[in-house]
Amino acid sequence: MNAKEYPLSNFAPYREGRNPYRHKIFELSQQSTTMLGDQYTENHKGSWLRIAYSNPTALQFEIGSYHGETSIEMAKNDPQTLFLGMEWKHKQAFKAGKKAADLGLKNICFLRGNCARLPMVLAKGEVDRFLILFPDPWGRFSQNKWRLLNPDFIQMLSYLLKPNGQIFIKTDHEDYARYIEQSLEEEKSIHKMPQLHAEEFWEKVPHSPFERIFRRKNLPIYSFAYEKIDKAELPERIFHALEREKKILT
């Protein structure tokens, strides 16, 4: 397998599990619009803006939202945008959804889910902006296959973006930064944003807990800002992996 190919097994459907937070996520999703879990994250494809009570006009999707600090702070300041945050870990996802519910926010929802299945969650051209902050670098060479931001994944993000949609990424890992930049440059439907425009957006993004730690340690931080300039299709490899689960992509 090519080191830049994400394992096909990671596109598999959800299974019942014993994690105690799985039930808590389900209960919270019955009480609030700030939480969804597993297969229920795939029920609003193409209609996300309609689940928010704030009548939003734009959709920002954070991948790897952890405890939700960044998206929550941004949602407080921008009621016209619906903020979705996806997190794989049950406990962290639940904490984010619970905090948003306790704050009474109407323009945010946290999803406990698998971002490899994003085409089941989002429709083609549905997203205005993707935000990815400090993804796991999987630093050892033998782990590189697990790196999320491979060329196919970047193409998939572009497929899900609206025309002129944007991708913003930060990492503290130098080798992963090179890998990310190569993946971004390989995708011809996007190009690098002007630095001034990128800086204007980053100024609005609160520092995540990880970024605060890295800055205290004076570690370098690498940031990327790209925008969609042309049409993109879903990578064949991802399409066929998901089609095997008898899902219909639109």
Q: Which residues are part of the catalytic machinery?
A: 136
Q: What is the pLDDT of residue 250?
A: 46
Mean pLDDT of 13-35: 92
In a domain, 163, yes or no: yes
CA dihedral sign, ordered 239, 5, 38, 79: negative
**Does 218 have pLDDT greater than 80?**
yes
In a domain, 71, yes or no: yes
**Does 128 have pLDDT greater than 50?**
yes
The pLDDT tens digits for 230-246 are 999 999 988 888 887 65
Q: Which domain holds residue 237?
A: 8-243
**Does 248 have pLDDT greater than 50?**
no
Q: What is the pLDDT of residue 112?
A: 97
CA 51: distance to chain centroid?
Answer: 18
Which phi and psi angles does 34 have, rounded to 5°?
-95, 5
Structure tokens at 118: 């994003």
The pLDDT tens digits for 135-172 are 988 777 777 777 899 999 999 999 999 999 999 999 99
Mean pLDDT of 6-24: 81
CA dihedral sign, ordered 99, 54, 113, 182: negative
**Does 11 have pLDDT greater than 80?**
no
In a domain, 248, yes or no: no
Which phi and psi angles does 178 have, rounded to 5°?
-65, -40
In a domain, 139, yes or no: yes
The pLDDT tens digits for 91-112 are 999 999 999 999 999 999 999 9
Neighbouring CB atoms inside 10 A of 93's CB total 29
In a domain, 2, yes or no: no
In a domain, 250, yes or no: no
Q: Which CATH number fits the domain that encloses residue 107? A: 3.40.50.150
**Does 5 have pLDDT greater than 70?**
no
**Does 247 have pLDDT greater than 60?**
no
Closest C-alpha among 80, 104, 91, 92 to residue 208: 92
| Beta-carbon contacts of residue 246 (< 8 Å; ≥ 6 apart) | none
Q: What is the pLDDT of residue 239?
A: 86
Higher pLDDT, 17 or 6: 17
Q: What is the pLDDT of residue 30?
A: 96
In a domain, 249, yes or no: no
d(CA 162, CA 199) in angstroms, rounded, equals 21
In a domain, 52, yes or no: yes
Number of domains in the chain: 1
Least confident of 28-32, 128-132, 236-240: 236-240
| Beta-carbon contacts of residue 8 (< 8 Å; ≥ 6 apart) | 237, 241
The pLDDT tens digits for 179-208 are 999 999 999 999 999 999 999 999 999 999
Of all residues in the chain, the percent with pLDDT exceeding 70 is 93
Contact between 31 and 177 (Cβ < 8 Å): no
Instruction: Provide the terminal-to-terminal Cα distance of the chain, rounded to the nearest Å.
Output: 29
Closest C-alpha among 186, 170, 174, 176 to residue 225: 170
